[in-house]
């Protein structure tokens, strides 16, 4: 297969948007090679599918974590859909790109819509913002102590 054939195969396999993404990755690899790693080099979409590799050197811990993780997200007092929305909010509070990818998909697959998912993100934003703001009381306490 010639280069044109290979290129056509890639276009067909990944589609125009997928191709653009692959070209982006290629440029990134080029940049890393010649200019050193950048922030975005640490978060690759395909790494999410490699999550289980973390169990290679500590399989028992991974198995226990996996069992616990699975049990947490089972239907209980909260529905699977509610738990996925909580996880989506937490993912934003933690600013974890992998978790955002995973729980956006999970939320859709549990039947949530964009209105509900956006509200979940606002809950995370409100708690993060509130957490910063409530520390203002500490600031006021210190300022009060230091001031006449």
Partner 1 sequence: MPGTASLKRRHHELAVIAHQLDVIKHDGGVEPFEQSLSRAGIDALQTDGIRVMQINVGKMCNQTCKHCHVDAGPDRTEIMTRETMELCLRALERLEIPIVDLTGGAPEMNPHFRWLVERVRALGRHVIDRCNLTILTLPKYAGLVEFLARHQVEVTASLPYYIGERTDAQRGEGVFERSIEALHQLNDAGYGQTDSGLVLNLVYNPVGAYLPPRQEAIEADYRRELLKRYGIVFNRVFTITNMPINRFLEYLIESGNYPSYMRRLHAAFNPDAARAVMCREMLSIGWDGDLYDCDFNQMLGLHCDHGAPKHIADFDPQRLQDRQIVTGQHCYGCTAGAGSSCGGALD
Residues of the shown chain interacting with partner 1 in the complex, contacts defined by CB under 8 A: 9, 12-21, 49, 79-81, 105, 108-111, 113, 115
Q: Where are the beta strands (DSSP E) in 21-135?
A: none
Nearest distance, CB of residue 71 and partner 1, angstroms:
17
Nearest distance, CB of residue 30 and partner 1, angstroms:
21
Rounded Cα–Cα distance for residues 131 and 56 (Å): 37
Rounded to the nearest 10 degrees, what angle do helices 80-94 and 97-109 cross at? 160
**Closer to partner 1 at the Cβ: 14 or 98?**
14
**Closer to partner 1 at the Cβ: 19 or 100?**
19
Q: Is the CB of residue 99 less than 8 Å from the CB of residue 43?
A: no
Nearest distance, CB of residue 57 and partner 1, angstroms:
24
Nearest distance, CB of residue 83 and partner 1, angstroms:
12
Render 50-69 in DSSP notation, one character per residue.
Answer: GGGGGGTT-HHHHHHHHHHH
**Closer to partner 1 at the Cβ: 113 or 147?**
113
Task: Tell the residue number behind the tokens 């009381």, with chain if given.
Answer: 137
| Cα 65–chain centre separation | 18
Tokens (6 digits) for 9 = 């195969």
**Closer to partner 1 at the Cβ: 115 or 132?**
115
């Amino acid at each position: 297969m010639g280069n044109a054939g290979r290129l056509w195969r890639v276009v067909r396999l990944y589609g125009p948007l997928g191709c653009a993404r692959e070209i982006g990755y290629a440029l990134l690899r080029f940049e890393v090679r010649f200019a050193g790693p950048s922030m975005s080099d640490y978060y690759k979409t395909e790494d999410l599918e490699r999550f289980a590799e973390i169990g290679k050197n500590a399989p028992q811990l991974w198995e226990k974590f996996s069992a616990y993780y699975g049990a947490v997200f089972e239907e209980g007092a909260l529905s699977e859909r509610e738990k996925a929305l909580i996880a989506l909010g937490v993912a934003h509070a933690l600013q974890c790109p992998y978790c955002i990818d995973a729980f956006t998909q999970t939320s859709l697959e549990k039947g949530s819509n964009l209105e509900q998912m956006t509200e979940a993100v606002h809950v995370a934003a409100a708690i993060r913002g509130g957490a910063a703001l409530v520390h203002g009381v500490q600031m006021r306490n210190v300022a009060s102590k230091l001031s006449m």
